[in-house]
């Protein structure tokens, strides 16, 4: 059993009850792995937020390249694995390792945050640095215009919620305005943090993966 870097944050959550070694979040993650391995039951997860991230990933990478003035970065397709974790960084060149997060809209973009908003992403980057041998990485949030077809879905959803059959111009304009950001300067549409490799954190991840394996093996025997 190996843990995907994007899921490391789940197993690193601390249990609420004293004496327990794994949190319920970590246990649920392992349970899902057992069901997949044993019976082929896969928990599907998809949302408009992740769909947008996938759709605009290349645009986000280009925006990061422009704002941070890297020599040349491009989407990485190489998958990495070791004895504990596995993952595919968004960008992995000789010069830089980057993970890109494309915000759904302005309300989810960390304009004023001074610390990484989601600790899961810190763990994800530790995993990527561990896999690739990098000592530094970049977490970059990007604010990219939502693709038109997704905006149209939002317009239809808003009309449905308001029980509107005919097109309402005000509703359309309101939705469209929430998903257009090109009027904002590029350097304000990228919020980034440099993340340093932390060997002590990597050791903690190793230990937690081993605990998850013990639980995994136990479940495989009982299900």
Does the residue 118 lie in any domain?
yes
Does the residue 198 lie in any domain?
yes
- Domain total of the chain: 1
Computed over every residue of the chain, the mean pLDDT equals: 96
pLDDT band at 43 (very low <50, low <70, confident <90, very high): confident
Query: pLDDT at position 192, please?
Result: 98
Query: pLDDT at position 71, please?
Result: 81
Phi, psi of 87 (to 5 degrees): 180, 170
- How far apart are alpha carbons 191 and 149 in whole angstroms? 26
Q: Which of 18-22, 46-50, 96-100 has the highest mean pLDDT?
A: 96-100
- How far apart are alpha carbons 47 and 44 in whole angstroms? 10
pLDDT band at 191 (very low <50, low <70, confident <90, very high): very high
Dump the DSSP string for 80-91. Answer: EE-SSEEE--SE
Q: What's the domain range around 62?
A: 48-145+181-204
Does the residue 130 lie in any domain?
yes
Query: pLDDT at position 46, please?
Result: 75
Give the CATH number for residue 55.
3.90.320.10
Q: What residues does 101 pair with on adjacent strands? A: 141
Its pTM stands at: 0.94
Q: Give the pLDDT confidence of 163-179 residue by residue, as tens digits.
A: 999 999 999 999 999 99
| HSE toward the beta carbon, residue 38, CA cutoff 13 A | 14
- How far apart are alpha carbons 96 and 64 in whole angstroms? 12
């Amino acid at each position: 059993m190996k843990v995907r870097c994007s899921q490391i944050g789940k197993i690193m959550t601390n249990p609420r009850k004293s004496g327990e070694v794994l949190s319920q979040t970590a246990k649920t993650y392992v349970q899902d792995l057992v069901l997949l391995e044993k019976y082929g039951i896969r928990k599907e997860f998809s949302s408009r937020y992740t769909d947008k991230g996938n759709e605009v990933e290349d645009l986000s990478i280009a925006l990061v390249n422009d704002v941070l003035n890297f020599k040349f970065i491009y989407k990485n397709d190489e998958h990495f694995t070791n004895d504990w974790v596995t993952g595919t960084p968004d960008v992995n060149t000789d010069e830089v390792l980057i993970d890109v997060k494309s915000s759904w809209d302005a309300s989810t973009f960390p304009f004023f945050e001074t610390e990484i908003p989601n600790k899961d992403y810190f763990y994800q980057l530790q995993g990527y640095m561990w896999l690739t041998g990098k000592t530094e990485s970049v977490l970059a949030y990007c604010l990219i215009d939502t693709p038109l077809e997704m905006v149209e879905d939002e317009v239809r959803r808003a009309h449905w919620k308001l029980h509107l059959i005919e097109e309402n111009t005000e509703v359309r304009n309101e939705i469209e305005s929430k998903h257009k950001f090109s009027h904002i300067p590029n350097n304000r549409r990228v919020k980034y943090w440099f993340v340093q490799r932390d060997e002590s954190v990597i050791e903690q991840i190793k230990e937690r993966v081993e605990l998850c394996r013990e639980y995994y093996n136990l479940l495989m025997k009982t299900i």
